């Protein structure tokens, strides 16, 4: 699929095609559809990120809460499963799983939403654990901003996969 293809879809079809770009939050694609036509993947991504930026605090929190915990037990979307699997989060040692579970619990207790990080790229489990340790002391407002920035990175990776066939 191309950006031009998306530009020509009916609003419902556009929303359906991009429903999982932002985890379990099709409202982002639905609202971004009104900004068509898009000249590029970057323009589409910017419009979707703007939708999130202009969302209410409650909507932003719902978006963050829609994300799974890293190596959690909940059922993952196909995108999340592929992303986490690419970094071996589905094949952790017992010690790694315990360390991640403890940090996930501490993070959720402190902030009220799961730890979110774009795992694609150069990150491995050690880097993810380090990022959790660095971010845990942050104040909530700053951490919401950081988490939303990570959500935007994840969305861009997903758009690139959907529209360009990149992995």
Task: Tell me whether the omega of the peptide bond preceding residue 37 falls within 30 degrees of 0, making it cis.
Answer: yes
Active site residue 67: yes
Mean pLDDT of the chain: 92
The pLDDT of residue 85 is: 79
pLDDT at residue 122 greater than cutoff 60: no
**Lowest mean pLDDT across 5-9, 55-59, 107-111, 122-126:** 122-126
The pLDDT of residue 167 is: 36
Domain boundaries along the sequence of the chain: 3-164
Positive or negative torsion for Cα 140, 111, 55, 152: positive
Question: How many Cβ atoms sit within 10 Å of the Cβ of residue 1?
Answer: 12
The pLDDT of residue 88 is: 81
The pLDDT of residue 142 is: 97
The residue annotated as part of the active site, out of 8, 16, 24, 67, is 67
> What is the rounded (10 degree) CA torsion for 13, 14, 17, 20?
-120
CATH 1.10.3330.10 fits 3-164, yes or no: yes
pLDDT at residue 154 greater than cutoff 90: yes
Average pLDDT of the segment spanning 17-42? 96
């Amino acid at each position: 699929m191309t950006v031009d293809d998306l530009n020509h879809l009916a609003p419902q079809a556009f929303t359906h095609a991009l429903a999982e770009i932002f985890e379990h939050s099709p409202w982002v694609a639905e609202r971004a559809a009104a900004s068509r036509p898009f000249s590029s993947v970057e323009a589409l991504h910017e419009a979707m990120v703007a939708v999130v930026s202009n969302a209410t605090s409650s909507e932003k929190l719902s978006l963050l809460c829609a994300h799974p915990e890293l190596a959690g037990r909940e059922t993952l979307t196909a995108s999340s499963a592929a992303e986490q699997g690419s970094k071996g989060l589905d094949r952790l040692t017992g010690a790694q799983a315990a360390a991640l579970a403890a940090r996930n619990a501490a993070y959720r207790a402190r902030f009220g939403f799961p730890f979110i990080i774009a795992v694609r790229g150069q990150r491995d489990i050690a880097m993810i654990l380090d990022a959790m340790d660095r971010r845990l002391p942050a104040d909530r407002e700053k951490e919401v901003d950081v988490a939303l920035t990570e959500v935007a990175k994840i969305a861009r990776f997903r758009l690139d996969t959907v529209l360009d066939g990149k992995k």
